Structure 1
């Protein structure tokens, strides 16, 4: 068991993150007592996307390349179309996700962020959900796609959209409290 006051969580994102999908977990996980850092490609501020326009910025606490997996209990991957599409070609981001999975840490991805899980090759054989437009991408990568607000497979949490943020954050808290999730490698 992990107390939320002892939990450390890293949110990994770049410009074009869906604003609510970064800010809601950031604020709610901090309210729950966790230490939450934002990792960006260069460690600097990034700008969100809010529905049809650029939104607010959030400061970066560190570079994605400098995240030490052993320092964190969980990685949160916000969606938006732009953010995960930019990150899925970044070796440091993909390596980080693979390390979280291999070490049994909690991985939480919402909306289009499962694109990162596909690119990191960690979806095969797992039950997952996502924004409906990438359902086929997940299926083609070997995931069992379901249309529900939360899908969880051995500590890998996925959600569909901003409408599911309440359930998404609640499940992150629940899973972090449970501690490490030893898991088989993706099939």
Structure 2
């Protein structure tokens, strides 16, 4: 698969309080396959992870949200955590960035609490999705068909529940990235 993914670029949108493994593990899996990965933070500055029960490492951002453009990337990853998606779902620029990937039919992968961002961007109605159980009712209320599975793919939208599902999440992310644009992925 490595050769098929060489030259691909993926954005990971995050801010302080992202679940560390939900950024570091997908980034490593993508890079292992030859994908160029850019961490996009709101202000382009370093962001600090949450590592299960306490603050984790600090990660350098590659670009700011203002300088990031969907057209420069083939897919988007949204790590969860509690603080990260709660802040991003209230950021209009972040919502616009996420919507642009859907409008372009590009794969988007969201794990844990990250579907909160998709809910606020009004992108979940009619979609089959999963998430951490505490977000299930929010997704149902927004019109999604929530299921309790390790990974769900719906026309380029990849969702998973928790860090325990990262192997399945990464496998489907790589598969969707290799497939490219999806006509069923829309805003």
Correspondences of 1:69-88 after superposition (within 5 Å):
69-88=70-89
Equivalent position of 1:105 in the other structure: 106
Correspondences of 1:17-166 after superposition (within 5 Å):
17-166=18-167
- Give structure 2 stretches of 5+ with no counterpart: none
- Give structure 1 stretches of 5+ with no counterpart: none
Deviation at 1:27, TM superposition (A): 1.1
Q: 1:16 to 1:128 in 2, by over 3 A?
A: same
RMSD (CA atoms): 1.3
Query: Is the 8 Å Cα contact of residues 40 and 62 (structure 1) preserved in structure 2?
Result: yes
In the superposition, the TM-score normalised over structure 1's length comes to 0.96
Q: 1:185 to 1:101 in 2, by over 3 A?
A: closer
Mapped partners of 1:184, 1:32: distance in 2: 24
In the superposition, the TM-score normalised over structure 2's length comes to 0.96
Per-residue CA shift, 1:101-128, capped at 9, x if unaligned? 0100110000000000000000000000
| Pairing 1:10–2:22 present | no
Query: Is the 8 Å Cα contact of residues 65 and 93 (structure 1) preserved in structure 2?
Result: no
Paired residue secondary structure (2:15):
coil
Mapped partners of 2:174, 2:27: distance in 1: 12
Mapped partners of 1:156, 1:91: distance in 2: 21
Mapped partners of 1:35, 1:12: distance in 2: 14
Flag as ranges the 4+ runs of structure 1 deviating above 6 A: none
Work out the number of aligned pairs and report it: 186
Deviation at 1:64, TM superposition (A): 1.3
Q: 1:54 to 1:143 in 2, by over 3 A?
A: same
Deviation at 1:184, TM superposition (A): 5.9
Mapped partners of 2:159, 2:8: distance in 1: 20
Query: Is the 8 Å Cα contact of residues 12 and 40 (structure 2) preserved in structure 1?
Result: yes
